[in-house]
Structures are given as structure tokens and as C-alpha cells.
Amino acid sequence: MKKIDNMTVTVTYTVSISGVEVPDNVYEGLMSRDEFDPDDLSLSDDEQYALDWLANHIEERDATDWNYEVDVDKSGKSTLILT
């Protein structure tokens, strides 16, 4: 068994949905930008509603594709990307 002192894993997954009905304000928010950052304080009300909707309706278990980026730091840095 080996010990890893520090490891960061970034997981990216893709969820495709179709035929979904959303409230008007969520629709407007989704149409206004391509990326939503929960830490972005400049989101409009509609964009915040869209972000909340995404958080409540998109789940990892619905994903069709996962990517894992693993960054291991132990006496040097190495990166392993798994697809």
C-alpha cells in the first residue's frame, strides 16, 4: 500500500436532457449565458434561478460521460487524465 500526501481530483460529467419544461425565469437565465459559476456575484435574478434549477435537477447519476483529472503532488507533481 502506498500513501499519497496530496491529491486533487476534478470530475467532469455530461448530462443531456430533452423535452424539459422550465419556468420562464429559468429559461431566460439559461438563454443568457453558457457557464454558471455559483460564486459569481454578478448573476441576474433569472441567472440565479437558472443556476438553482440546474443544481436541483442535474445529477451525476444522469451522466452519459465522465472524465477524471487526477493531480498527485508528492515530491513533484504529476497529472493523470482518465477518460
Give the tens place of pLDDT for each residue, 19-76.
Answer: 999 999 999 999 999 898 889 999 999 999 999 999 999 999 999 999 999 988 766 5
Query: pLDDT exceeding 90 applies to what percent of the chain?
Result: 66
Our CA dihedral for 11, 12, 16, 21, rounded to 10 degrees, sits at 80
pLDDT at 2: 76
CA nearest 10: which of 63, 70, 81? 70
pLDDT at 80: 60
pLDDT at 5: 81
**Count of positions (residues) in the chain:** 83
How high is the mean pLDDT of the chain?
88
